[in-house]
Structure 1
Amino acid sequence: MSTVIRWIGWVALLAGALLITQNSLSDFGPGGEGIFVEQKGEIGRQPLWIVCLYVHVVAGIVCLLSVLPQFSRKLLRRIPALHRWCGRIYAASVLFVLSPTGIYLAFFAKGGLAGKLGFLLLGAVTFHTTLRGVTSMIGGTRDLIAHREWMTRSFAYAASAITFRVYHLAFLLAGMAEEKNYAISLWLSILGNAAVAELVLRRRSQAPTLSSTIPSIS
């Protein structure tokens, strides 16, 4: 049963990453519709905001796709360097691009004050958990357990990009007003993903035979 759940999780992540990629290209790519930018009004014509938006979108896609190989222990056993390089790509994109631009963009987010605070919190906790995951493996005090725990939390927050869209679509179909929908979907994705990460970590801490926090699908 656990293998089936891991497979479902991997497929859901892949589908979500590809869907975000496709939607981003259709709206922000060459010849895209540009609906999101148009909705922002005056701020959507500010060069700094536009640059931050585009690099934030690209960094988000890189983050989600770089995590995919980490879900197969068999693949990582065959190519050990794959875990390190994908991890470095993920961490660099979060620390130097995704979180900084996300925090800036949060000040102009939809959803009123709740939306702005939600994105500010998301940018901050994603940066913090990723940084803790990286620093736990630096120097002579390498802590593999702490590294796995912090990176699990980091990815849970990064994956809110997927769960947010799921909640947003569900509430949209239910007829919820856009501003309210945006804020509720955002906070539900942040808190929900955080709760799932802690439940996963607690389960693993109670099962010492599980030697890795990387879900295995093969």
Structure 2
Amino acid sequence: MTATLQKPRTTTKKWWQRPWIGPLGLLAIAFIAFSVPPYLTGDRSQSRVQQPDYAWHYPLLVVHVLFASVAMITCVFQIWPWFRQRHPQAHRRMGRIYVFGGVLPAGVLALTIGMVTPFGPAAFASGIVMAPLWLFFTVAGYRMARQRRFVDHRRWMIRSFALTMSIITNRLWAIVFGIAVGPQLETTFHGDLKLMVYSISGATTWLGWVIPLLIAEWWLQRPEMARRKARSVAGGAG
């Protein structure tokens, strides 16, 4: 069966009429500027994730951080409608970098190092669910583009984008939970710092990617929800 050609939606909006793209790009750059430098030193003690039981964990973590940074920067351009429409060839080339030089290696490494996370079973479960989904969404989006099914390509890549950027929301949740739960160390956690860290990490790793993915799904379902509402209104009026 031949795949049906799907054309992406076009827009007449100028680049400055997308007020979210600038802040998103700055946020990605700021996050990378803060997060990556400690991993460029080769000093294991500066790693924000310490796993001394496995010597291979640190070098794989460093490589994961670098590939994930490539994914973050390129995906900002990939979801920018003005760039996508005005520079389609650059969009395709950068898309390949996003897939093969960003998500795929970063996702495989995320799954590998996630198997030995030092942050407890909840963080472990989150990692082994999130990483395969990240890989699946990205590969599905790439396949749709290769088949010229651009509407489906866009939908899968929005899901991929949500998981790519979820590391930022993960860190934001960590701040929120650290402030909220920190004072309970001697009460709720009976002075057990490791238990508190496990609890915070488990909550933030799940919320960090589940909420962005739910928002992405809501965004993708808006047209269908609007059509159902319109049909319901029309049916009621009839």
Q: TM-score range by the shorter chain?
A: 0.7 to 0.9
TM-superposition CA deviations, 1:80-102 (whole Å, max 9, x none): 21211121111113453111100
- Contact 1:94 1:126 (8 Å CA) reproduced: no
- Alignment of 1:179 with 2:198, yes or no, is yes
Counterpart among 19, 27, 33 of residue 7 in structure 1:
19
Please, what TM-score do these two structures have when normalized by structure 2?
0.74
> Residues 115-134 of structure 1 correspond to what in structure 2 (within 5 A)?
115-134=123-142
* 1:24–1:33 CA distance, 2 compared to 1 (3 A): farther
RMSD: 2.6
2:174 equivalent in structure 1: 168
Give the distance between the partners of 2:17 and 2:178, measured in 1 at CA.
27
Aligned amino acid, residue 36 of structure 1 = S
Q: 1:175 to 1:26 in 2, by over 3 A?
A: farther
C-alpha change, 1:11 and 1:119, in structure 2 (3 Å) is farther
Instruction: Tell whether the 8 Å contact from 1:95 to 1:131 is kept in structure 2 after alignment.
Output: no
Distance 2:213 2:107 in 1: 17
Residue type at the aligned position of 1:14 = G
Q: Which amino acid aligns with 1:167?
A: W
Q: Aligned match of 1:74 in 82, 93, 107?
A: 82
Q: Offset of 1:37 from its aligned partner?
A: 6.2
Of 18, 37, 42, the match for 1:26: 37
Asked if the contact 1:115/1:183 (under 8 Å) is kept, the reply is: yes
The count of corresponding residues between Structure 1 and Structure 2 is 200
Tell whether the 8 Å contact from 2:69 to 2:102 is kept in structure 1 after alignment.
Answer: no
1:86-135 Cα distance to aligned partner (Å, 9 max, x none) = 21111113453111100000012133111011011111000001111111
Matched, 1:202 2:221: yes
Note the alpha carbon deviations across 1:193-216, whole angstroms, 9 max, x for none: 1101101101244579xxxxxxxx
Larger Rg belongs to: 2
- What SS is found at the alignment partner of 1:76? helix
Q: Which runs of 5+ in 2 are unaligned?
A: 1-14, 183-195, 228-238
Q: CA deviation at 1:72?
A: 3.3
What is the aligned partner in structure 2 of residue 58 from structure 1? 66
Q: Is the 8 A contact 1:63 1:94 kept in 2?
A: yes
Q: 2:89 corresponds to which letter in structure 1?
A: A
Alignment deviations for residues 55-95 of structure 1 (CA, whole Å, 9 cap, x no partner):
10001110010012234333333322121112111111345
Cα 1:85–1:204 change in 2 (3 A) is: farther
Match of 2:233 in 1: none
Residues 131 and 71 of structure 1, relative CA distance in 2, 3 Å threshold: closer
Counterpart-to-counterpart distance in 2, 1:24 and 1:62: 13
Q: In the TM superposition, what is the alpha-carbon distance from 1:143 to its structure 2 partner?
A: 1.1
5+ residue gaps, structure 1: 209-218
The percent of aligned pairs where both chains have the same amino acid is 23
